[in-house]
Structure formats: structure tokens, C-alpha cells
């Protein structure tokens, strides 16, 4: 496999950005019939079910010393953020969600330095700042973001990005001896039952009264299977082979795909958009430059 090659890592980063850049649309569709809590629960449960054969196969690699880190990967890295994101999506628009999501690499760097004594290169920090400028420019370009209307729901996404930062550092520093599929399948082995128990306590009667609920369920199924199970498998493998900061810089590229989805929907792409995209790619390139 080519995991050690920078060009391959970059392709995985682009694929992740495409998958997660599409997840905002899938969440929006799912929320038409399901409550935000149900949407998050279904997302995690389906991801866990898809990964279950691998979870059972990899149980032999489950060591007591890794248990805490795997629980962090499952609950701090996926379970809780899933609930935070769907809740936030009920009250804030995707542009603001994308902007706040771009804080992930900043928190990844800060938590790495504070809690894991991660050594960093100034070139990485430069790339981080350049990428953030590009991402913020792309998200705000041509949009009248009413930042005065940033409500408490926006803080849910900020909290999710802190959790992502904790998770990425935990995997990089404590679980590098496991493969991406082992980390992902074993961490979701614990989140699946929690999601199932939670869903059993919710009321599905209003959902069944919505005529299009099967279509909305399919959107959540895609979100769980592709946007969670597959995406976390790729992400956990990428963290293992590259730096934590580089892996987290995927959140800078997500707005690029959000803009491209907009183009397919008939929105215009401007020179400013293209300039910001180029700035993002330069920033991402610098975060993974070896020297």
C-alpha cells in the first residue's frame, strides 16, 4: 500500500474532504423527517453495524492498555460530535458550520503541544495559518454572514472540533501500533450498543407520519456507512501514517467541495473562490512538507 507516500496521503485527504463536504447535505435531508438526536443515533448505529464483522474479527487485538484510547476514539471522536453537529445544523447554516469546522487543525495543534508534548515545525504552523485564511475566505466569499446572529448552537460545533483535536492526538500518540481498520472497528464496537439503547428511548411515531421518511432514512444511511464508517477508516489510517496536523487539515478542503456542490446546484464560481482554493491547497501542502 502507498500510505507512506505524500501523493497518496493527499489523495486520501481529498477523498475525505469530498465525503465530509457532502455530509452537510445528507444531514439536512435526514433532518426533514428525523429529530437531530435520532439522525445522529442512526448515523452511529449504521456505521457500527457495517463495521461489526471487522469488530468481531479484530477483538483479538483488543488490549486492556488500549481500552481508554479506543473509547476516546469512539465516543469523543465520533459519537458525541455526531450529536453536536446534527443539533447545531437545526439552527445554523452550512456556511457557518463549515467555518467553525475549520478550527479543527488549530485545536489539534494546541492539544498536541499541551497534552502530548508534540514537537512541531514552524513550516507546519505557517501552512496551518495559510490554510485557515484560505478556508475562511472561501466560506465567507459572497455571503453576508450575520455573525451577530451566531447563537449558542455555533458553540456546539466549536466543542465538536475540540473533541476532534483530542481524538486525533490520542490516536496518533497511543494507537499507532494498530491499523486504521482495527482502530475504527474496535472503537465503533462500543458506540453501536450506546446508539441502539438511545434510539430505543426516542419516539418514531412522528417520523412514520412523514411521507418521505424512507428517502430521508437513506440519506442518513449514506451518512452512517460512507460519511462515518468509511471516512473514519480512512482518517484513522491517515493519522497513523502522516502527522496529526496534516490529517486534521482535511477540514480546510471541505469548503472547496461545498462550493463545488453549489456550482452543480447553479451557483456561480468566482475568481475569489479559485484564489481561496489555491491558498488552501498551498497551506495543506506546507503542513505535510517534510523539510
Residue 118 scores a pLDDT above 90: no
Residue 134 located in a structural domain? yes
Choice among 78-82, 84-88, 113-117 with the minimum mean pLDDT: 113-117
Q: How far, in Å, are 111, 152, 159, 285 from residue 262 at the CA level?
A: 34, 27, 27, 25
Residues 231-254 pLDDT 10s: 999 999 999 999 898 999 999 898
Structural domains counted in the chain: 1
Measured between its terminal Cα atoms, the distance across the chain in Å is 24
Task: For residue 210, give the nearest of 24, 34, 89 by alpha carbon.
Answer: 34
228 located within any domain: yes
Q: Is the pLDDT of residue 111 over 80?
A: yes
* pLDDT for position 44: 98
For residue 237, give its domain range.
6-288
Residue 216 lies in a domain: yes
Higher pLDDT, 284 or 34: 34
Q: Is residue 200 part of a domain?
A: yes
Query: Is the predicted pLDDT of residue 146 greater than 80, yes or no?
Result: no
Q: Give the tens place of pLDDT for each residue, 191-230.
A: 999 999 999 999 999 999 999 999 999 999 999 999 999 9
The answer to whether residue 267 scores a pLDDT higher than 70 is no
Q: Give me the mean pLDDT over the 169-183 stretch.
A: 95
Would you say 192 and 44 are in contact if contact means Cβ atoms under 8 Å apart? yes
Q: Quick check: is 60 in a domain?
A: yes
Say what the pLDDT of residue 207 is. Answer: 96
Using a pLDDT cut of 90, give the percent of the chain over it. Answer: 60
User: Which pLDDT tens digit goes with each residue over 2-44?
Assistant: 898 989 999 999 999 999 988 888 998 999 999 999 999 999 9
Asked, for residue 1, whether it belongs to a domain, the answer is no
pLDDT for the residue 117 = 86
**What local confidence, expressed as pLDDT, does residue 152 receive?**
78
The answer as to whether 204 is a domain residue is yes
Decide if pLDDT at 85 tops 90.
yes
Amino acid at each position: 500500500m502507498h500510505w507512506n507516500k505524500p501523493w497518496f496521503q493527499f489523495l486520501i485527504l481529498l477523498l475525505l474532504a469530498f465525503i465530509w463536504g457532502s455530509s452537510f447535505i445528507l444531514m439536512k435531508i435526514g433532518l426533514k423527517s428525523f429529530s437531530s438526536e435520532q439522525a445522529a443515533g442512526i448515523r452511529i448505529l449504521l456505521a457500527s453495524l457495517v463495521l461489526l464483522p471487522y469488530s468481531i474479527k479484530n477483538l483479538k487485538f483488543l488490549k486492556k492498555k488500549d481500552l481508554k484510547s479506543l473509547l476516546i476514539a469512539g465516543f469523543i471522536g465520533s459519537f458525541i460530535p455526531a450529536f453536536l453537529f446534527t443539533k447545531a445544523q437545526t439552527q445554523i447554516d452550512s456556511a457557518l458550520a463549515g467555518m467553525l469546522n475549520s478550527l479543527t487543525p488549530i485545536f489539534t495543534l494546541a492539544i498536541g503541544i499541551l497534552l502530548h508534548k508534540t514537537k512541531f515545525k514552524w513550516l507546519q504552523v505557517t501552512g496551518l495559518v495559510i490554510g485557515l485564511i484560505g478556508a475562511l475566505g472561501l466560506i465567507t466569499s459572497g455571503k453576508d454572514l450575520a455573525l451577530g446572529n451566531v447563537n449558542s448552537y455555533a458553540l456546539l460545533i466549536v466543542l465538536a472540533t475540540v473533541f476532534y483535536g483530542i481524538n486525533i492526538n490520542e490516536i496518533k500518540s497511543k494507537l499507532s501500533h494498530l491499523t486504521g481498520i482495527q482502530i475504527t472497528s474496535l472503537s465503533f464496537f462500543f458506540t453501536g450498543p450506546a446508539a441502539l439503547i438511545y434510539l430505543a428511548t426516542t419516539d418514531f411515531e412522528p417520523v412514520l407520519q412523514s411521507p418521505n421518511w424512507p428517502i430521508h432514512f437513506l440519506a442518513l444511511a449514506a451518512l452512517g456507512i460512507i460519511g462515518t464508517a468509511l471516512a473514519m477508516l480512512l482518517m484513522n489510517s491517515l493519522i497513523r501514517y502522516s502527522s496529526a496536523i496534516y490529517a486534521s487539515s482535511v477540514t480546510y478542503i471541505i469548503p472547496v467541495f461545498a462550493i463545488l456542490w453549489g456550482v452543480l446546484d447553479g451557483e456561480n464560481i468566482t475568481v475569489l473562490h479559485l484564489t481561496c482554493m489555491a491558498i488552501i491547497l498551498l497551506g495543506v501542502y506546507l503542513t505535510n512538507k517534510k523539510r
